[in-house]
């Protein structure tokens, strides 16, 4: 019998081969070149063996498979770039042949003449779902861990191994498009309702049910290979389709502003593919996939949202040679909304938390935030009653600093005031055990300044959370001038434990994310002052790819917070550090009109009682003489937003605040939703080239002010034809070691 590295094959007395996918040394099964070779050999082996009546494929791990491996995705781009250098005329054809490999393998499985059943026991995404769809039967466990999805669009590509064709021939076209263009995860029961799964069973019945399908005479022929097959709803040339298809591109444009080539390719693949025989349809999909892989968007999104995000999540910036910290207990000081939410995510990660405030009433009130979040999660079926109770049991409210005597890490989340923080640092350090780390959750106060209040600045670090903590995936880990490697390692271990993505930044006012966010908001102030209609400002930002307009964002973070930051900047750096027109606008909003943002129900928007939706405050357009909309170039507005943010990010690299381009890119997307299709702030510059970016900056500076002037670093990069990923190569150390 053939032995495989990643699979075991056992044939039972009924002639059913059970193929178990269990990759050694990996927490999750993924497609690699070796896995595809072995699967190909298994198809050949089971076809050749007359004793095998059918095949069940399942996973030996708690999840089924996450799809393609990082290295395989990376290899496609490397391969294409190398081929382009060798011979540009054949590079696309060679890429087309390469991406067809998985499509061909799954088609071979589907037409092998023997029935295959996929037994899905956990997460089944991307290529793994495409393989399952090529099987003749699909059974899924009803466990909560089962998530079924084709999420490729979220990283700039689309399901290119038969996904667009099989889903659109099993489910109705509208549900198929919805699933693939959003990349949404389905539960097993939703997948069954969409006809993507045949049966949903109890976890212990998974393999028996899959084998039973074969015993019951499962036909080894896909529905679309049967004579007379019609797609659900009758295909493209029907009255129902005549309603769906003219609207679909318009809906997609509303949602994506035409910024995502992968999403549009899904529509084209389905629309064209449903009009031709199945094998031709696969070729159409393969052609679009090859085309999308050659776009700057796909390259940049995959690099940032797939590769870099995984590398940072796995501790790419963690100092070497320091043992991993087992966090036995964490202290959180300050039970206000931020501190309470930090306690919640810590307890949700299985770590006991002591939540401290000035008295038991305040500390207990902080725990009630977690009680609300748990109730919500139980109501939505994300947690069972028992899991919710266990989570809450891990949070102990207290008013006594002595309860921190046995923690590994304390996170301070008190009011943004140097004196308040100073008092807390001193009180905590009086009881903190030797070697424990003190982390300050601050959004604006420099860490080195706060560390001056510490007796052990080497163990002092910043960990900046974003609100709402339970939803935002990013944390900024801020190094003070004296912060040691151990403090950094512990902070990164903690961020990994709570399943967030860290970016490590050096100390500066506003760190990385807030510096960029306020450039975005200040550009909107400039536009208001110029007389650009407020609705146009918001729409241009969304068309540029931002998730929310800058005025809406300013309402969320609070307009009086903007006022506080502007005033603090003047106090620290002098009058010239802020635009006096900005201060006048914000003072008028806050001091004269008491419009502070969403928190008091009125800001740049009005917030009526639900169910009415918020709307722009009509009086805003009376503040400045209004320009006519048709005299304003929407493309220039879009450029101004993206360029001002990217310029600020470039400054943080130049100043050594951010040192790794991966962190600037991932931080900008996760922190404030910087146009994800660009791959992030520095990929946006690299994507157009430093020379083009500098030219664009100079053009904008001439019309809209010196804050658009390109920096010395950018001019130097433009002159040398450099990129951020070349000049600040994050892998340089690894290459040197090799």
Q: Kindly report, residue by residue over 456-472, the tens digit of the pLDDT.
A: 999 999 999 988 899 98
- Are the C-beta atoms of 428 and 333 separated by less than 8 Å? yes
| Whether residues 261 and 337 fall in one domain | no
Arithmetic mean of pLDDT over the chain: 93
Q: What is the mean pLDDT of residues 336-360?
A: 94
Q: Report whether pLDDT(109) > 60.
A: yes
**Which residues span the domain enclosing 163?**
7-294
Look at residue 44 and tell me if it is in a domain.
yes
pLDDT of 407: 94
Q: What is the mean pLDDT of residues 62-73?
A: 87
Q: Report whether pLDDT(1) > 70.
A: no
Look at residue 703 and tell me if it is in a domain.
no
Look at residue 235 and tell me if it is in a domain.
yes
Alpha-carbon distance of 513 to 442, in angstroms, equals 12
Q: What is the mean pLDDT of residues 388-400?
A: 94
pTM for the full predicted model: 0.90
Alpha-carbon distance of 13 to 19, in angstroms, equals 15
Residue 430 maps to which CATH number? 3.40.50.720
Q: If we measure between CA atoms, which residue out of 172, 285, 193, 178 comes closest to residue 238?
A: 172
| Whether residues 267 and 358 fall in one domain | no
| Whether residues 283 and 141 fall in one domain | yes
| Whether residues 185 and 255 fall in one domain | yes
pLDDT of 442: 80
Q: What is the mean pLDDT of residues 580-603?
A: 94
Angle between helices 278-293 and 261-273 (to 10 degrees): 170
Residue 454 is classified by DSSP as -
| Whether residues 108 and 202 fall in one domain | yes
**Domain final residue pick, 294, 314, 346:** 294
Interval 297-340: pLDDT, tens: 999 999 999 889 888 888 888 998 899 988 999 999 999 889 99
- Are the C-beta atoms of 431 and 405 separated by less than 8 Å? yes
| Whether residues 126 and 185 fall in one domain | yes
Q: If we measure between CA atoms, which residue out of 31, 172, 24, 211 comes closest to residue 106?
A: 31
pLDDT of 603: 95
With b meaning 16 or more CB within 10 Å and e meaning fewer, what string describes 72-93? bbeebbeebeebbeeeeeebbe
Q: Report whether pLDDT(523) > 80.
A: yes
Beta bridge partners of 478: 462, 505
Q: How many CB atoms lie within 10 A of CB 427?
A: 15
Q: What is the mean pLDDT of residues 61-66?
A: 95
Q: Report whether pLDDT(20) > 90.
A: yes
Beta bridge partners of 148: 124, 186
Structure token digits, residue 626: 């209004």
Q: If we measure between CA atoms, which residue out of 408, 410, 432 comes closest to residue 323?
A: 408
| Whether residues 242 and 354 fall in one domain | no
Q: Is there a catalytic annotation at residue 707?
A: no
Q: Report whether pLDDT(36) > 60.
A: yes
Out of 198, 464, 522, 582, the active site residue is: 464
SS3 call for 316: coil
| Whether residues 468 and 387 fall in one domain | yes
- Are the C-beta atoms of 81 and 163 separated by less than 8 Å? no
| Whether residues 269 and 346 fall in one domain | no
Q: What percent of the chain has pLDDT over 70?
A: 99
The number of distinct structural domains making up the chain is 2
Residue 18 maps to which CATH number? 3.90.226.10
Look at residue 610 and tell me if it is in a domain.
no
Look at residue 581 and tell me if it is in a domain.
no
**Domain final residue pick, 279, 294, 309:** 294
| Whether residues 281 and 354 fall in one domain | no
Between 417 and 496, the higher pLDDT residue: 496
| Whether residues 259 and 142 fall in one domain | yes
Look at residue 392 and tell me if it is in a domain.
yes
SS3 call for 437: strand
pLDDT of 734: 61
Alpha-carbon distance of 266 to 260, in angstroms, equals 11
Q: What is the mean pLDDT of residues 388-397?
A: 94
* Backbone φ and ψ of 399, nearest 5°: -115, 10
| Whether residues 247 and 352 fall in one domain | no
**Domain final residue pick, 267, 294, 321:** 294
């Amino acid at each position: 019998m053939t032995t495989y590295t990643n699979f075991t094959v056992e044939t039972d007395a009924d002639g059913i081969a059970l193929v178990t996918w269990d990759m050694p040394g990996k927490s999750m099964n993924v497609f690699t070149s070796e896995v595809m070779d072995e699967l190909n050999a298994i198809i050949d082996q089971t076809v050749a063996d007359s004793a095998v009546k059918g095949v069940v494929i399942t996973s030996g791990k708690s999840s089924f498979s996450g799809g393609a491996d990082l290295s395989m995705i990376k290899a496609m781009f490397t391969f294409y770039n190398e081929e382009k250098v060798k011979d540009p005329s054949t590079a696309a054809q060679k890429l087309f042949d390469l991406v067809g490999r998985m499509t061909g393998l799954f088609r071979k499985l589907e037409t092998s003449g023997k029935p295959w059943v996929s037994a899905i026991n956990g997460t089944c995404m991307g290529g793994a779902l495409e393989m399952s769809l090529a099987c003749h039967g699909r059974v899924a466990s009803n466990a909560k861990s089962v998530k079924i999805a084709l999420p490729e669009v979220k990283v700039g590509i689309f399901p290119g191994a038969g996904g667009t064709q099989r889903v659109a021939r099993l489910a109705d076209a509208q549900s198929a498009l919805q699933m693939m263009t959003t990349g949404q995860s389905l539960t097993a029961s939703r997948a069954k309702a969409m006809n993507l799964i045949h049966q949903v069973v109890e976890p212990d019945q998974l393999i028996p049910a899959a084998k039973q399908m074969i015993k019951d005479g499962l036909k080894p022929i896909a529905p679309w290979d049967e004579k007379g097959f019609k797609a659900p709803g009758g295909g493209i040339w029907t009255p129902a389709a005549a309603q769906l298809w003219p609207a679909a591109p318009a809906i997609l444009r509303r949602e994506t502003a035409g910024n995502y080539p992968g999403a549009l390719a899904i529509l084209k693949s389905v629309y064209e593919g449903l009009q031709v025989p199945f094998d031709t349809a696969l070729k159409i999909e393969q052609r679009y996939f090859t085309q999308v892989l050659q776009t700057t968007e796909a390259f940049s999104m995959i690099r940032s949202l797939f590769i870099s995000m995984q590398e940072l999540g796995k501790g790419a910036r963690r100092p070497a040679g320091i043992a991993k910290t087992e966090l036995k207990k964490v202290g959180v000081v300050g039970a206000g909304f931020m501190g309470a939410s930090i306690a919640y995510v810590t307890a949700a990660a299985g770590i006991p938390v002591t939540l401290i405030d000035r008295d038991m009433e305040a500390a207990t009130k902080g725990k009630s935030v977690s009680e609300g979040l748990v109730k919500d999660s139980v109501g939505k079926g994300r947690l069972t009653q028992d899991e919710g109770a266990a989570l809450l049991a891990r949070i102990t409210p207290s008013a006594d600093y002595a309860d921190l005597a046995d923690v590994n890490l304390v996170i301070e989340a008190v009011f943004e005031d140097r004196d308040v923080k100073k008092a807390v640092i001193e009180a905590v350090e009086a009881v903190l055990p030797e070697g424990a780390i003190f982390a300050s959750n601050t959004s604006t106060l420099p860490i080195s300044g706060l560390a001056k209040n510490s007796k052990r600045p080497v163990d002092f670090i910043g960990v900046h959370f974003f609100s709402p903590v339970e939803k935002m995936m990013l944390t900024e880990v801020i190094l003070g001038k004296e912060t040691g490697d151990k403090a950094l390692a512990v902070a990164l271990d903690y961020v990994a434990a709570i399943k967030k993505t860290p970016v490590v930044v050096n100390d500066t006012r506003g760190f990385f994310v807030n510096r960029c966010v306020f450039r975005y908001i200040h550009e909107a102030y400039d536009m208001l002052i110029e007389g650009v209609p407020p609705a146009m400002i918001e729409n241009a930002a969304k068309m540029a790819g931002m998730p929310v307009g800058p005025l809406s964002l300013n309402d969320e973070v609070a307009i009086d917070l903007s006022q506080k930051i502007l005033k603090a900047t003047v106090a620290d750096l002098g009058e010239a550090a802020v635009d006096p027109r900005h201060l006048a606008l914000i003072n008028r909003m806050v001091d004269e009109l008491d419009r502070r943002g969403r928190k008091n129900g009125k800001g740049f928007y009005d917030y009526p009682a639900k169910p009415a939706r918020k709307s722009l405050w009509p009086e805003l357009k009376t503040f400045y003489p209004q320009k006519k909309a048709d005299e304003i170039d929407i493309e220039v507005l879009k450029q101004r937003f993206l360029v001002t943010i990217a310029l600020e990010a470039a400054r943080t690299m130049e100043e050594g605040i951010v040192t790794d381009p991966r962190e600037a890119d991932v931080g900008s997307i996760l922190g404030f939703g910087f146009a994800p299709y660009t791959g992030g702030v520095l990929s946006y510059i690299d994507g157009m080239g430093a020379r083009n970016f500098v030219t664009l900056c100079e053009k904008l500076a001439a019309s809209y002010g010196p804050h658009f002037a390109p920096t010395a670093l950018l001019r130097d990069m433009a002159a040398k034809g450099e990129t951020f990923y070349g000049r600040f190569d994050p892998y340089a150390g690894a290459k040197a070691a090799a």
